[in-house]
Structure 1
Amino acid sequence: MEGDEPTTLMCTVVAIDHTNFCYRVCSICDRTLPEITNTSTNTSSSSSSLPLCKYCNFNNAINPSRSTSKRLFRILMSIASDTKVFVVIMFDRAARVLFGCSADEFFDFAKLHPFTAETAAKVLEGEMLRVTLSKPKNGNAQHQRVVAVVPLRSGFRPAIETLRELYGVTVGS
């Protein structure tokens, strides 16, 4: 990728890192929140243990209700173009195209169905995509960013649809 202009290319998904696919942000200002380190064996999080946005809660003295958090996708994946294999990072807007749901919905599904993240990575492995890559805006970032993604297979189904079928989950009306 030459210069600062975004580059569009055809590629194949080689692998997806399923160990850390999302992160928490403030639902009001989208600032990144610290990760929750849960040392207990209880997997359900009470609202008092969730991190709060210091900016929104501090500046919200007039309306003392607390800000909530939400999850956004941050997918690290290897892709292969016609000339090389390299690692890129895909954030929420682009990842929703491949996953077909929000990061919160995927996280909740994964809590109920073991190995969901690993299975989603396997489901998406080998998919042909047209991606638009840009250089990272943060000078410390290591990987190019996927800013747009278009699946090329005519029968493409988002990962969540395949997972629901695999785990026998029907979406209620």
Structure 2
Amino acid sequence: MEGDKPTALMCTVLAIDYSKFCYRVCSVCERTLPDNPTSFCKFCNFNAFNSVSTGSKRLFRVLVSIASDTKVFTVICFDRAAKVLFGCSADEFFDFAKLHPFAAVSANRILEGEMFRMTLSKSKGGNAQHLRVASVVPLRSGFLPAIQSLRELYGERVGS
């Protein structure tokens, strides 16, 4: 990547790190929360205008190993880009994975070898370890997001 300009490239997904694919945030201000489900946002809970405790939601943060025509490297997909790959919210995928413990492993296998046009950018702070995926466009006309393939694999229907 040259300079700070985002770069678009054609690439193939080699693998996804499915060990930690999401993180919890405050549903109001989207500040990162600890993994402990009983923890709440300290900022929103102490806000004088908010008398009710706020909930949390999950957002995707997925490390993806990709290959371009010249290089193999690891990039990070945050929520908006990862939703293209998974076809659902991080909360929905997390709930699906609770019912089907090998869903994350299967999602890795489903997405392995898929080709995409990805736009990559450096982090705004400039000190992140991995390039960020700003956008993802599938190159195969028959591409199905991972959740659709997983539902077919596990014999579930939408809304089940």
Partners in 2 of 1:121 and 1:89 — Cα distance?
15
Partners in 1 of 2:12 and 2:64 — Cα distance?
10
Q: 1:131 aligns with which of 97, 109, 118?
A: 118
Deviating beyond 2 angstroms after TM superposition, the runs of 4 or more aligned structure 1 residues are none
The equivalent residue for 2:40 is 52
| Superposition pairs of residues 80-99 of structure 1, within 5 angstroms | 80-99=67-86
| CA deviation string 1:113-172 (max 9, x = no partner) | 121001001100000000000001234310000010000001000100000000011123
| Superposition pairs of residues 122-161 of structure 1, within 5 angstroms | 122-161=109-148
Q: CA deviation at 1:35?
A: 1.7
The equivalent residue for 2:28 is 28
The equivalent residue for 1:115 is 102
Partners in 2 of 1:160 and 1:83 — Cα distance?
30
Partner SS, residue 122 of structure 1: helix
Q: CA deviation at 1:109?
A: 0.3
The equivalent residue for 2:11 is 11
Percentage of identical aligned residues: 73
Partner SS, residue 111 of structure 1: helix
- Aligned residues of 2:25 and 2:57 also touching (Cα < 8 A): yes
Structure 1: runs of 5 or more not aligned: 37-48
Partner SS, residue 56 of structure 1: helix
Structure 2: runs of 5 or more not aligned: none
Partners in 2 of 1:92 and 1:143 — Cα distance?
15
- For normalisation by structure 1, the TM-score amounts to 0.89
The equivalent residue for 1:46 is none
RMSD of aligned alpha carbons? 1.2
